[in-house]
Amino acid sequence: MSFVKKHRDPQEWIAEAMGQFESSGIRKVFDLARKLKDPVNLSIGQPDFPVPAAVRKAAIDAIDRGQNSYTVTQGLPELREGILARAKATLPAECFADRSILMTSGTTGALVLALNCVLNPGDEVLGFDPWFVMYPNLVALDGARFIAVDTAPTFVPDPDRVRALITPRTKVMIINSPANPTGALWPEEVLRALAELCLEKGILLISDEIYSMFSYDGPFISPARFNPQTLVIDGFSKSHAMTGWRVGYAHGPTRLIEEMIKLQQFTFVCAPSMAQHGAIAALDVDMSAEVASYREQRDFIRRELAHDYDIGQPGGAFYLYARAPHGRNGTEFVAEAINRNLLIIPGKVFSHHDTHFRISYAATMRTLERGVEILKEMARG
């Protein structure tokens, strides 16, 4: 038997959904960082402090004990129980009348599972502009529509504007406070209004709480306090510098978690086993010194740039979202910064508007000082 050889354009194999988004603009800047000599890197959204020693030791000990195989799909029981115990200390008892937990391959894995389990083609997801880059892309991959609520200039949403955008197709709302890229910490009254709106309209509220530890201008408030059906997503990547360990989690209504567990069985299988053992140790590590250090770095860079840049009120996370000066285009401003060896992220990556840029102050003080001087020079021409 002979086969006719036919060379096909590989593009013909690519699913149509993949054409709806490009490779992350953040990754493009990361690629630039590897090519530049000694860049001033204020682009990377990951902590610059080391993974705590106790966490590293727990993971190494697990490897040495031979605990290198799969865990149960939902994650190690001791880890899940520890996370839920912490949640019970801050959330009302009614949240736990119907709540289960799943360990995931990072918070990204949790978000992928959740959206795949609830979205049908044509559904709508309410998010907020500026947004974390992953939200609209994952929504599009499921054939749904991402409806962005403009939050400029305060970067805190107006609940009345949100209500006006709800349609019969609205199925999910995604909240991220403290927020990436703006660092905005939404007030309690706004979180309450949005949480109660989701309850009223039967909308699934997903709260991305990956920056919950970094809350400088007030206590962290989860919208789950006001809506017991909230799906909470969090993890250890930012709080303990475990970005490469891929340990996240989701807790929420048991029926939804059951479906996410089922889907994880056929996709990620489980979060990395040795990393889960490290995460158990992380639950007992005091990170207050690191948080205090980042608060000081936030205050320094905001103080130094306040005269030349409109920065807003970054109350958490480790980002500043600054407007390009003199009415300049954000993307062009970032291109000039890169020419000066400063790496920052164009706001267009996160927004329909091309007016801002993101700074990450998760960096050494020396790096921040160098970056501030370049930005001051650029603002003054």
Per domain, the residue ranges of the chain are: 10-50+287-379, 69-282
Half-sphere exposure of 160 (CA within 13 A, CB side): 0
- Predicted confidence at residue 5, as pLDDT, reads 63
Q: Is the pLDDT of residue 126 over 90?
A: yes
pLDDT band with cut points at 50, 70 and 90 for residue 20? confident
Work out the burial of residue 192: count CB atoms within 10 Å of its CB; fewer than 13 is exposed, 13-18 middle, 19 or more buried: middle
- Predicted confidence at residue 258, as pLDDT, reads 98
SS3 102: strand
Please state which of the ranges 35-49, 89-103, 254-268, 273-287 shows the lowest mean pLDDT.
35-49
- In order, the DSSP letters of 258-292 are HHHHHHHHTTT-SS-HHHHHHHHHHTT---HHHHH
Please state which of the ranges 33-47, 245-259, 321-335, 347-361 shows the lowest mean pLDDT.
33-47
Tokens standing for residue 71 = 């865990």
Instruction: Please state, rounded to an integer, the average pLDDT across all residues of the chain.
Output: 94
Percentage of the residues of the chain whose pLDDT score is greater than 70: 94
- Predicted confidence at residue 3, as pLDDT, reads 58
Mean pLDDT for 166-179 is: 98
Return the CATH class of domain 69-282.
Answer: alpha beta
Nearest to 116 by CA among 103, 106, 125: 125
- Whole-structure pTM over 0.95, yes or no? no
SS3 55: helix
Q: What angle do CA 191, 96, 163 make, to 5 degrees?
A: 25
Model pLDDT for residues 179-222, shown as the tens digit of each residue: 999 999 999 999 999 999 999 999 999 999 999 999 999 899 99
pLDDT band with cut points at 50, 70 and 90 for residue 6? low
Report the DSSP beta bridge partners of residue 129. Answer: 150
d(CA 314, CA 299): 10
CB 53 within 8 A of CB 240: no
CATH 3.90.1150.10 applies to domain 10-50+287-379: yes
Nearest to 253 by CA among 97, 368, 40, 372: 97
Please state which of the ranges 18-27, 115-124, 225-234, 247-256 shows the lowest mean pLDDT.
18-27
pLDDT band with cut points at 50, 70 and 90 for residue 18? confident
pLDDT band with cut points at 50, 70 and 90 for residue 23? low
List Cα–Cα distances, 111 to 124, 138, 151, 207, 223, in angstroms: 16, 8, 22, 10, 17
The reply to whether 69-282 shares the fold of 10-50+287-379 is no
d(CA 226, CA 90): 12
pLDDT band with cut points at 50, 70 and 90 for residue 27? low
CB atoms under 10 Å from CB of 28, counted, come to 13
- Predicted confidence at residue 2, as pLDDT, reads 58
- Predicted confidence at residue 313, as pLDDT, reads 87
d(CA 157, CA 149): 7
- Predicted confidence at residue 1, as pLDDT, reads 55
